[in-house]
Amino acid sequence: MRRIGLTGGIGSGKSTVSALWQALGATIVDTDAIARSLTVAGGPAMPALVQAFGADIADASGALDRARMREQVFADAGAKRVLEGILHPLIGAECERQAGLAQAPVVVFDVPLLVESGRWRRLVDKVLVVDTSTQTQRERVMARSGWSEDTVRAVIAQQATRAARRAAADAVLFNDGVTVQELAGQVQGLWNRWLGAALR
């Protein structure tokens, strides 16, 4: 089984590339989806998050108030470390559980903060980065989320630089001004090359 780490900055089009891998038959392990499942009302992470950050960190339903949490993380690096200390072990365990159930020849771990985490490089065979200009990132995120430009800039500033992500990559897909069909062709080429190498 080939283990591929997929990453990219917010608004890079990583979800599109993930869907292309899935269409070829890969199993996708989505760390963002796992994080959300851990922080719904009654989610496994919520007791520790409430203990660490107070009852106000939960919304009226009992789920994580993501906007409030984002504000705290942006304002306080210590809060970010506490949040990661709670979520990352739980996310890691669920990732391995899902990967262990996979029957596909390729498992793609969709990890937005792969480079920032420092631990994912040793857990995957290859790292694929989806790259795009920061201007395109801002435009895409503002269009889909309704966030202000300042908020989007703050999120981008919290993530690894484009150069740092590219330096960590075994392959880079530049998703700016290309069609989905062109991206699909590049993903197919990587599937052939990386899966073929694994079988030789």
pLDDT of residue 199: 46
CB-based contact 131:12 (threshold 8 Å)? yes
Close Cβ partners of 174 (under 8 Å, ≥ 6 residues apart): 131, 132
pLDDT of 198 reads: 53
Specify which residues 174 forms β-bridges with.
131
- At residue 200, the pLDDT reads 43
The CA-based angle 4-10-90, given to 5 degrees, is 55
Judge whether 162 and 38 are in contact, CB under 8 Å: no
pLDDT per position as a tens digit, 166-196? 999 999 999 999 999 999 999 999 999 998 7
pLDDT at 197: 58
User: Could you give the CA distance from residue 91 to residue 179 in angstroms, rounded to a whole number?
Assistant: 32
* Per-residue pLDDT tens digits for 45-80: 999 999 999 999 999 999 999 989 988 988 888 998
pLDDT at 106: 94
pLDDT band at 154 (very low <50, low <70, confident <90, very high): confident
Nearest to 158 by CA among 76, 88, 91: 76
Mean pLDDT computed over every residue of the chain: 92
